[in-house]
Amino acid sequence: MCGVTKADFVPYDEHTPMESYPAKVIKKTLLNPTTIELIIETETVFVSRPGQFMTFLFADSTGEFSRSYSIARVSDKQYTFLIKLVPNGR
C-alpha cells in the first residue's frame, strides 16, 4: 500500500553508524498546547513521502539523543513535522 517493495528495504545493523545530513529549522509554530509544527530544510533532496520517518540527532547538556518523527508534508527540500508534546513525568 505504501508503494515500496521488500527490495527497497535495507537490513538493520545496530553497529552501522547512521549517516548524518545537516538541516536548519525554517519555522516552528505552536499549533495548540500539545502540538508543534516544525518545518526544516535540508541541503540534500531525499526520496520520501508523508508518513515516513526521519530521525533527528539532538544534543543537550546530558549528551546526544535521537528521536524519530513522521513526515507530515514534503516540498522539495522542506519537510514538515507535527510533533506531539508530552508533559514532563509522563
DSSP for 17-77 reads: PPP---EEEEEEEEEETTEEEEEEEESS-----TT-EEEEEEEETTEEEEEEEEEEEEETT
- Give the pLDDT confidence of 21-44 residue by residue, as tens digits: 888 999 999 999 999 999 999 998
| pLDDT (0 to 100) of residue 88 | 67
- Taking the domains of the chain in order of start, what are their residue ranges? 21-84
* CATH number for the domain running over 21-84: 2.40.30.10
Residue 85 pLDDT class (50, 70, 90 cuts):
confident
pLDDT at 90 over 70: no
